[in-house]
Amino acid sequence: MTIEELEQIAKSVHQENEKYDFEVNVCMDLACNSQGAGLLHSALVKAAEASGKKVLVRKTGCMGPCSSGPLVRVDPEKTLYHHVKDANAETIVNSLGEAPVAALQCDLNEHFDKQVRVVLENAGHIDPEKIDDYIARDGYKALLTVLTEMTPNGVIHRITESGLRGRGGGGYPTGLKWSTVAKAGGDTKYVVCNGDEGDPGAFMDRSVMEGDPHRVIEGMAIAAYAVGASKGFIYVRAEYPVAVARLTTALREARRRGLLGTNLCGTTFNFDVEIRLGAGAFVCGEETALIASIEGRRGTPKPRPPYPAVSGLWGRPTLINNVETYANIAPIVRNGGKWFFNMGSERSKGTKVFALTGRINHTGLIEVPLGIKLWEIIDVIGGGVPAGHTFKAVQTGGPSGGCLPAEMLPIGVSYDALMAAGSIMGSGGMIVMDDTSCMVNVARFFVEFCMTESCGKCIPCRAGTAQMYTLLTRICTGVGTMDDLRLLEDLCSTVKEASLCGLGQTAPNPVLSTLKYFRNEYIDHIVHKKCTAGVCNMQVPAEVLA
Amino acid sequence: MRKNGFARSALIETLHTVQSSFGFLDDDAIKFVAESLRVPLSQAYGVVTFYHYFSLKPPGKHTMTICAGTACYIKGTDKLIADAEKHLGIQVGQTTKNGQTSLMTARCVGACSRAPVVLFDGEVAGEVNREQMLAQLERWTVE
């Protein structure tokens, strides 16, 4: 495959698409699918055939505002329809070329205006099972340019220049990680994609893997060229069967097109990728545990150093990046590091995908430039909390993150600002809570999660989270005392300081952040035996009340 | 196993294949896989018990999986779980005595924007309320 051949494919796809007057794109992501997008797609195909119009009906990845699903977008008019039922298919097809169907039109201009799409640029525009659709939107151009025109060092320089930081949560500079692996000795190196999106309440990586799988593969291939690896692994959760199927198809297509395999583009570069399945263990998102799991062992972490960049899979230098990090690589190579560097805030560059969920009007997948104010995400893009309720907190970073109250809404979303506020960027889950949530109970929920997910290798995490859970349960059931609270705070710092890996070190975060911002709720539970949100079932023994 | 060249590192892949064919992993299956891949039985058993996805018990005819991810929790799946347990007379992770229904929870299936989410035999249903859930359980019981 050469660049000319690639352009030829792109041209033939464009020519093919020009035969049609209209494109009807149906979002087939999990959320829309669970609301009947499958039936809708068949109904649209049928209606299009019956109408005699030249209509292309396409299945696409996630379009974003899942709460308005099933979604349909008609191009070239770019009309977005929401809550479309299969019964509406004929009406939509009949309206093509005429005025749009006003009753179904989705008016979410504010929702989209604040967003900038880099990672999600293709989602909703291509059929993820067709490699040619991806190629027609500049896909694999970056890989072939890199192979024919750039040196590995040049690629690393461009990534470093872009200021991209790891999107899995840690925020480690990607360029620095790549150069460490590139400098490590040895003939055999590996590139690993972390698609173990264990953080509950987050689904960015799933949407990227399902909606635009080739983008991840292209990013991995570029990384492999830069660091000198010839073998890659994508580690995906078994809970994401569709993502696994899409990636399998994508890998097969890429091999067929000669974009994976040996002597790519007539060079000496060889690269291929294997999929490895997770099996439901949150700790496997931690890189050393992930390596153990790929090797077919129990996913228990190891102390670092040595870092995987030096000694990873089977003791070889291994580059591990998150799905979203790899998804950013191709556009950076295509548009230059400066282009990316100019987006975002001072120390957090580019855009970030967030999964906006919980008690908020417009749930779904969003992509925003970093530095955007938290309130803009919640009030403008998300449309605020449901009517009649008041905003209480937003939880970022999953079980390792924290809950931020209304006072924190003016901060800009960046790695450092969130860290300073007592939470973390994390992989991008953003869960909004209103007055119906009890913060003590929320903290207990996360501690329970960490307790069951703790691998049991180190004691602070294994025993500490269990004791924290017991203390929080005492508080939630109304038998807690102020001594329990002091003990809890003590324990939090022990677990944080002494745990081996990221899971244990960050497990106390939900407790610490709720203690920092919502201490009064803890006091209410302990002293007044009262749960303001009415969530906790207080079974106060008579002797305590007396 | 042949697909992965009998590689020891493909233990988890192989166990996935066995579980998707038989629904669960029994002792014979684990022993067979361990011997074929030349992996110590202790390692195979360790892997099976370490990962939540693997099950040592046969599932019921139908399985209801309630998502216990954060977004679903905020939207009240803890109450759904309690209602389901009461209705079926079993705890999460168990199967009814007649072998009809298994009740499971999942750590987030990634459909958070439609929370609370319940999977009826693997089919994702979003914004599920108590009545819908109990109606589906009732349909399974009557069968």
Rounded to the nearest angstrom, the minimum Cα separation between B123 and chain A is 8
Q: Which residues of B touch A294 (CB under 8 A)?
A: 9
Q: Is the Cβ of B114 closer than 8 Å to some Cβ of chain A?
A: yes
CB within 8 Å of chain A, chain B residues 38-67: 39, 43, 46-47, 50-54
Averaged pLDDT, B47-76: 94
Main-chain phi, psi angles of A484, to 5 degrees? -60, -40
Q: Is the Cβ of A414 closer than 8 Å to some Cβ of chain B?
A: no
| In chain A, where the domains are located | 15-113, 138-341, 351-434, 439-545
| In chain B, where the domains are located | 8-50, 62-142
What is the pLDDT, as a whole number, of residue B65? 95
What is the pLDDT, as a whole number, of residue A541? 59
Determine how many CB atoms are found less than 10 A away from the CB of residue A539.
9
Chain-chain contact of B54 with A297 (C-beta, under 8 angstroms): no
A504-514: pLDDT as tens digits: 999 999 999 99
Determine how many CB atoms are found less than 10 A away from the CB of residue A13.
18
Of the partner residues B8, B71, B110, the one whose CB lies closest to the CB of residue A296: B8
The third-level CATH classification (topology) of the domain covering A138-341 is Rossmann fold (3.40.50)
A429-473: pLDDT as tens digits: 999 999 999 999 999 999 999 999 999 999 999 999 999 999 999
In CATH, what is the architecture of A351-434? Roll (3.10)
- One-letter-per-residue 3-state SS of A87-116: HHHHHHHHHCCCCCCHHHECCCHHHHHCCC
Check pLDDT > 60 for residue A63: yes
In CATH, what is the architecture of A15-113? 3-Layer(aba) Sandwich (3.40)
A429-441: pLDDT as tens digits: 999 999 999 999 9
Rounded to the nearest angstrom, the minimum Cα separation between B62 and chain A is 18
Q: Is the Cβ of A310 closer than 8 Å to some Cβ of chain B?
A: no
What is the pLDDT, as a whole number, of residue A243? 96
The pLDDT confidence band at residue B55, using thresholds 50, 70 and 90, is very high
Check pLDDT > 90 for residue A542: no
Averaged pLDDT, A301-322: 95
Query: What ipTM was estimated for this complex?
Result: 0.93
A78-120: pLDDT as tens digits: 999 999 999 999 999 999 999 999 999 998 888 999 999 999 9
Task: Calculate the average pLDDT of chain B.
Answer: 93
The share of chain A scoring above pLDDT 70, in percent, equals 99
pTM of the model: 0.95
What is the pLDDT, as a whole number, of residue A149? 96
What is the pLDDT, as a whole number, of residue A103? 94
The third-level CATH classification (topology) of the domain covering A439-545 is de novo design (two linked rop proteins) (1.20.1440)
Contact in structure between A108 and A68 (CB atoms under 8 Å): yes
What is the pLDDT, as a whole number, of residue B143? 74
Among positive and negative, which fits the CA dihedral A289, A290, A291, A292? positive
Check pLDDT > 60 for residue A536: yes
Averaged pLDDT, A161-173: 93
Angle between helices A482-498 and A519-526 (to 10 degrees): 140
Pick the CATH number of B62-142 from 3.40.30.10, 3.40.190.10, 3.90.209.20, 1.20.1260.10: 3.40.30.10
Among positive and negative, which fits the CA dihedral B106, B111, B114, B120? negative
Rounded to the nearest angstrom, the minimum Cα separation between B27 and chain A is 18
Chain-chain contact of A276 with B12 (C-beta, under 8 angstroms): yes
Contact in structure between A460 and A498 (CB atoms under 8 Å): yes
Check pLDDT > 60 for residue A545: no
Averaged pLDDT, A282-296: 95
Q: Which residue has the tokens 């499958």?
A: A38
Of the partner residues B51, B69, B109, the one whose CB lies closest to the CB of residue A281: B51
What is the pLDDT, as a whole number, of residue A108? 87
